[in-house]
Every structure is written in C-alpha cells, then in structure tokens.
Amino acid sequence: MVLRLTKPASLSESIIWVTLGAFIVFVLLPTFYLISYVFLRWNEVWFEVFANPIIGDENWKQILKVLFFSFRLSLSTVAFDLLFGIPLAYVLARKRFRGKSLLEDVVTLPLVIPTSGFGFATLITWTTVAGIGGLIGLRSGLIPLNSVVPFINVPFILFIVHVALTFPYIVRTVETKFQSIDITFEIASRTLGASPLTTFRNILSPLAIPGIFSGSVLAFARSLGETGATLIVSGVSSTASIAIVRWTSEFKLATASFMGSLLVIIAWVIILPVELYMGRKARAFSFSYQLPTSVTKRLMTLERFASRRLTRIKDFVPLIVVAVTVIVPIVVVLNSVILYWTADPYTGKVQGGVLYQLFGPSNYFASVLQATLTSMIVALTSTYAATCIAIPLAFIIERRWYGDFIRTILKVPLIIPTSSLGLSVLLLWGSSGLNLVRSGIWLIILTHIVFSVPVIVESIVPAYEGSEIQMYEDSARTLGATAYDAIETVSLPLIKGGVLTGFILSFTRSLGETGATFIVMGRDVTVPALVVNMVEALAIPAALFTSTYLIALSLVLLGIIRIITRR
C-alpha cells in the first residue's frame, strides 16, 4: 500500500477556485451542454425526430441507420487494427533495430497530420487517376470510389482511412503496456520450454489485456468520432459524426443534437468502465480460461511450428499495413502536386494546374494565406489559454482527492466525436444558448480550448508522476521555500518538458481539427476546413497543394516534438 505521506503543499485557494471555474466554464459545460440541450428542448426533439407531421419518424430511422453503419465501420476497424497492431506493438516494444524511432514516428503520424488533408491524400491515392492507378498506367483510379470491403460491407476507402487514423492508438498503447511488462517473465517462460507464441498467449497477452483494452476503446472512439477525413472520403455513405455536420448545416438542430448526445453518451458508456477498471491498477488481471489438455497440447505443437515459420510474416505484414495506409498516400499526394504544378497532366489544361488555381481568377492562394492566419491565431490562442488552465489543473489532479474524478471527466472531450463537440459549443455560446459568441474565430477558439485542456493535462500528468515532484517540493520547503516558491523554482521547471510537449500536441491538434471547426467557423475558414471546401468545389489541384502544405506543417511540428522529448 502506498501512503501519501505528505500533506499537499497548500496551493493558494483562490488559484484552485479560478482554475476549477475555468475548467467548468470552458471544458465541462461545452462538453455536456448538448445532453442538457436535448432534455431542455425535448418537445422540439420529439417532434423533429420521432413525430414529424410530414415524415413521421423518418429522422429517427436515419439516425439508427447512420449509427449502425458507424458501429459496423468502427468495430471492423478496431478488429483489423488489433490483428496487425499487436504484433507491431510487440516488435516495437521488444526488438531493437535500425530505424525503429523512424518507424514509431511513421506510426504516430496520423495522430498529427490534419485529417482532412490526410483523407484527401488517401482519396487521391486510391480512387483517382492521379494516384496509384495513374502510376501503374491505368486511365482510372485503382479502386472505384464505391467499392466495398467484403463481409463488413463498408466502403473500402472509408475503411482504409479509419484504419490509418486509429492504428496509432492500438500500437502505441499496447507498445507502452508491453514495455511495462518485465521481460524476465518471457525469458523465464522460454527457458521453461515454451515457444515464443505459447509464451505470448500464456504470459504476455493476459498481462497486456488492460493495455489492449484501453487501446481498443481509444481507437473505437476515434473511429466513431472521426469527421475531417470522413467528410472527404465518405462519398454517398454517411457516418454518425458527419451526419451531425450535415444536419447542422441544414438547420436540423434538434436531430443533430439528439444524435450528438447519443454519441456523447455512448462515449461515456465506453470510457467509464475502462477508467474504473484502470483505476484499480493494483488488482492483477485474472484472465483464466481452461482449455482441455488435449487441445492445449495440440495448440502448443502448432505454436511451436508457427513460431519457427511465421516470424518473418508477423514482423513484415504490419509494416505493409503502415506503408500502405500512411506512407503511400503522403508520397502520392506529394507526387501529384508536382505533376499538377503547371497544368493537368492528362488534359494539358492550364486551368487544371496548381499554379492557375492558386493565382488565377479563383485566387485560392489568398484563401490559403487567410486560412493560415486564422488557423495560427486559433491554434496559438486556444493552446495558450488551455495551457494556462491545464497547468494548475494538473496540480489539482495530482493533489486533491477529487483529482481522479476530474481526470476521468477530461477523457470525455478527447473521445467524443468532434462534430458533437462543435455542435455543443455552438449551442452553448451561440444564439440559441448564452448568445455571447457568434460563429467565427472566437467560437473556434472556444471549441479548441475544450479538447486542448485535456491534451495538455495528459502530457503534464505523466511528467509530474515520473519525477517525484512531491519529494523535491518537500525538500525545497524544508530548505526554506514557501509553497509558492517551491512550485515556481522546483515543480514547474521539472514538468517543463511535459508542458512543452502538451503545448505542441495541442497546437498540432488545433491546427488539424476539422469536424468541430466546420460547425462553428462561420466565415472564418481554417486550413483543414479549406481543404474540405476545395474538395467540395472540385478544385482538386488547389486541395492537393493545401493538403501537402498542411502535412508539411505538421511534420515540422512533429520534428520539434521529437527534439523536445528526446532531451
């Protein structure tokens, strides 16, 4: 049992109240307002969704249809992720090889790349002549836009985008879990005569179950809530999160908010049991299943055989998944920008070239510049404000008895669909709620603060817990520092790395966010939203350029994170 021996150094009470107040106003309320909105306006919701005088419960049927489609997509995505993600996580956790950190970066890339840009890259790669199809000499895309994956019956392009965007959650979570499991267990099992696969099944996987579980939850939630890339590649099919965007733009606010609340509640229902389970870390996971001895024996023989034959396959297939879903689209989109730079390479028309679209009559370059400015202002302001809330909040989480509770609540903005979040913020601050802020840059900032606070807190907390802050602070106190001095001279410098990482992660996320921004932006378009607009306006070369520009921007930021975290 660990006793918390020291009384928490007294944070000034007023700081605590201000922080908690900011947390409630800027994070908690926007996250949950949607649900209360549905309750408050239940009559409206009832008439629009269930008892419309003209179309009856057609909207409800739509909601159900869209929800089931989303679930089918998300579940199959997670299943695919697990199949290939766990072996990759094992390789990353246990093997040392050249280019390992590069591989880790590539796996993490989809977390950093703005999703609309990435979605567009994937779309180009698979379904158009500018992509692989053209590269291998076809006059069309490699895969028709509407072709579906067998068995699960979801569009291929949607599936591949969701795999790419959720894969990092499984790989990195499980990898971290594997790393935390002492390798001596495996060595012991091997020296006792078990083959690698038997060891994996009997020793490693039961111990890693919590990590696999929480990774799956994150991946599932991410897939359920993905908006940016999905908007671009979805074609005629509609997921729950983009249905919210569409309905909001059609002013079917009651339907949209009902759907949004359903998603928020689903996210809660998924995350809460996991959080409660993870809270009791001390309890060993008992994962006992008893197979008949004869089956076990046959299984072990099979595993012994497979361990010898499958090593290469298990190492390389996941790499192919990463290459196909992440690297290929990025390379293709770069290549396309070059191909389309001056003119459409197939028709030879200058109007189909990047340069013409950027600087020609439609003058997209001005839009790109304007959007960059908006994006930068939004990212800087929201990240800065979020950092100011997140630092004291992290201290409160670590030192107050209700800290765990706050931390659990903070998980919600991270996993609820961003379009629900955007809608919630719009309803809260906008004309139908407090009527304080209109659609536009300020509302975008308020929206981004909601998910930036948890992102930053989640990077500060591990830095805090990993560095025995309490001991250093106690030391400083007995050396004569007041509680405030101790925090300023000792604790803050010690968590500086975590704050910086959180700042950049949040900045990157703000830069790439599409779903929520699309709902609240009004006329102030950010760069990722601009990509969506361009695609909708069929200005493909301009979209190509802007996507490349976005990806490049986020790669630079990723590089900076690397440099900071390596220190």
Residues forming the site for other proteins (CB under 8 A): 3, 5-7, 467-468, 471-472, 474-483, 485, 489-490, 493-494, 496
Using the minimum distance from each CB to other proteins, give the nearer residue, 7 or 96.
7
The closest alpha carbon to 157, from 141, 181, 169, belongs to 141
The closest alpha carbon to 329, from 120, 54, 140, belongs to 120
**Do the Cβ atoms of 428 and 434 come closer than 8 Å?**
yes
Q: Tokens 């998944």 appear where?
A: 321
Residues in contact with 148: Cβ distance below 8 Å, sequence separation at least 6, in sequence order: 154, 155, 156
Closest distance to other proteins from the beta carbon of 514 (Å): 38
Token pair listed for 107: 């796996």
Closest distance to other proteins from the beta carbon of 504 (Å): 20
Using the minimum distance from each CB to other proteins, give the nearer residue, 249 or 482.
482
Using the minimum distance from each CB to other proteins, give the nearer residue, 350 or 471.
471
Residues in contact with 307: Cβ distance below 8 Å, sequence separation at least 6, in sequence order: 195, 196, 197, 198
* Encoded amino acid at 196, one letter: P
Token pair listed for 23: 């947390």
Using the minimum distance from each CB to other proteins, give the nearer residue, 359 or 484.
484
Q: Tokens 């189909």 appear where?
A: 352
Closest distance to other proteins from the beta carbon of 480 (Å): 5
Using the minimum distance from each CB to other proteins, give the nearer residue, 490 or 527.
490
Using the minimum distance from each CB to other proteins, give the nearer residue, 13 or 269.
13
Closest distance to other proteins from the beta carbon of 8 (Å): 11
Structure-derived torsion over alpha carbons of residues 510, 514, 519, 521, reported in degrees to the nearest 10 = 60
Using the minimum distance from each CB to other proteins, give the nearer residue, 154 or 476.
476
Closest distance to other proteins from the beta carbon of 9 (Å): 9
Inter-helix orientation angle 29-40/441-465, to 10°? 130
CA distance 432 to 267: 25
Beta-strand ranges (E) seen in 392-433 are none
Token pair listed for 155: 């569009």
Using the minimum distance from each CB to other proteins, give the nearer residue, 286 or 478.
478
CA distance 75 to 82: 11
Inter-helix orientation angle 205-225/156-180, to 10°? 140
Closest distance to other proteins from the beta carbon of 1 (Å): 8
Total number of residues shown for the chain: 567
Closest distance to other proteins from the beta carbon of 471 (Å): 5
* Encoded amino acid at 153, one letter: N
Using the minimum distance from each CB to other proteins, give the nearer residue, 476 or 558.
476
**Widest distance between CA atoms in the chain:** 77
Closest distance to other proteins from the beta carbon of 487 (Å): 12
Using the minimum distance from each CB to other proteins, give the nearer residue, 4 or 309.
4
Closest distance to other proteins from the beta carbon of 473 (Å): 9
Closest distance to other proteins from the beta carbon of 406 (Å): 23
- Give burial (CB, 10 Å; 0-12/13-18/19+) of 553: buried
Using the minimum distance from each CB to other proteins, give the nearer residue, 315 or 474.
474
Closest distance to other proteins from the beta carbon of 481 (Å): 4
The closest alpha carbon to 124, from 322, 318, 331, belongs to 331
Using the minimum distance from each CB to other proteins, give the nearer residue, 386 or 490.
490
Closest distance to other proteins from the beta carbon of 494 (Å): 6
CA distance 286 to 306: 27
Helix (H, G, I), strand (E, B) or coil at 339: helix
Instruction: Dump the DSSP string for 434-495.
Output: T----TTHHHHHHHHHHHHHHHHHHHHHHHHHTTTHHHHHHHHHHTT--HHHHIIIIIHHHT
